[in-house]
Amino acid sequence: EAQVTQNPRYLITVTGKKLTVTCSQNMNHEYMSWYRQDPGLGLRQIYYSMNVEVTDKGDVPEGYKVSRKEKRNFPLILESPSPNQTSLYFCASSPDTLLYNEQFFGPGTRLTVL
Amino acid sequence: AQSVTQLGSHVSVSEGALVLLRCNYSSSVPPYLFWYVQYPNQGLQLLLKYTSAATLVKGINGFEAEFKKSETSFHLTKPSAHMSDAAEYFCAVSAHGSGNTGKLIFGQGTTLQVKP
């Protein structure tokens, strides 16, 4: 089954404790992206990657890091989480960056930073 | 730059009634527009998309949307609501610009409640 998977689905952590949210897709997509969803704000892009070893900042990159060492994986790293990073996170992938392409979303990771 | 505004953060309809979720966009170039649905505890799923082929776009689960350039709108409709339609709905536009980033710009979302 074609899908985007994320782990963990739920995470409660404390301020400053480094964490990684994994994302993997099995569709051989070149493009991957991370969004955060906050009430009343919709989804906002954090980082994106057009291909292996090619990553760039989205609209809200502060406090996050990413890497793209393999085509299928695109982990999101919070080196020192803070309470304002409490949010619902989605990973998405797409065949490429063509504007009319559908993006496929993972199930989401709900993160709480205390 | 592009932007999307969804009018109404919550919409409540009775089962069997018409569903109308409003979306207005701003774009200086011809837009590519999307409607996604998010069921509880799930990721976003594409309902339909507008890519300039036809102004009336039909999607999954009986939903459709009409692109109206003069009104800069892309409202989502369904003739008869079903209990299973209760979810959050997002309108989005592909971000054009120098160096296409593949980004989607989302509206704030509209929660649809369906009453028995």
**Model pLDDT for residues A3-52, shown as the tens digit of each residue:** 999 999 999 999 999 999 999 999 999 999 999 999 888 899 999 999 99
Nearest to A106 among B41, B43, B107 (CB): B43
Distance from CA of A68 to the nearest CA of B (A): 16
Measured in degrees and rounded to the nearest 5, phi and psi for residue A52 equal: -55, 135
Please indicate whether, in this complex, the C-beta atoms of B106 and A100 are within 8 angstroms of each other: no
CA separation for the pair A56, A102 (Å, rounded)? 20
Mean pLDDT for chain B overall? 92
Measured in degrees and rounded to the nearest 5, phi and psi for residue A83 equal: -55, -30
Please indicate whether, in this complex, the C-beta atoms of B102 and A108 are within 8 angstroms of each other: no
- The token duo for A16 is 């400053």
In a mutagenesis test of the A interface, which of B10, B33, B103, B105 is the best target, namely the one with the most A β-carbons within 10 Å? B103
Please indicate whether, in this complex, the C-beta atoms of B103 and A96 are within 8 angstroms of each other: no
Chain A residues touching B48 at Cβ < 8 A: none
Closest Cα in chain A to B100: A97
Report yes or no: B94 at the A interface, CB cutoff 8 Å: yes
Residue B54: its pLDDT value, please?
86
Distance from CA of B43 to the nearest CA of A (A): 4
Distance from CA of A51 to the nearest CA of B (A): 12
Residue B99: its pLDDT value, please?
62
The pLDDT tens digits for B38-82 are 998 888 999 999 988 789 999 999 999 999 999 999 999 999 999
Chain B residues touching A108 at Cβ < 8 A: 41-43
Report yes or no: B3 at the A interface, CB cutoff 8 Å: no
Please indicate whether, in this complex, the C-beta atoms of B51 and A105 are within 8 angstroms of each other: no
Pairing of strands B19-26, A65-66: unpaired
Please indicate whether, in this complex, the C-beta atoms of A43 and B32 are within 8 angstroms of each other: no
Q: Is the pLDDT of residue B98 over 60?
A: no
- CB neighbourhood size of A91 (10 A): 28
- The token duo for B32 is 């590519």
CA separation for the pair B4, B2 (Å, rounded)? 7
Of A76, A69, A73, A77, the C-alpha closest to A90 is: A76
Residue B97: its pLDDT value, please?
64
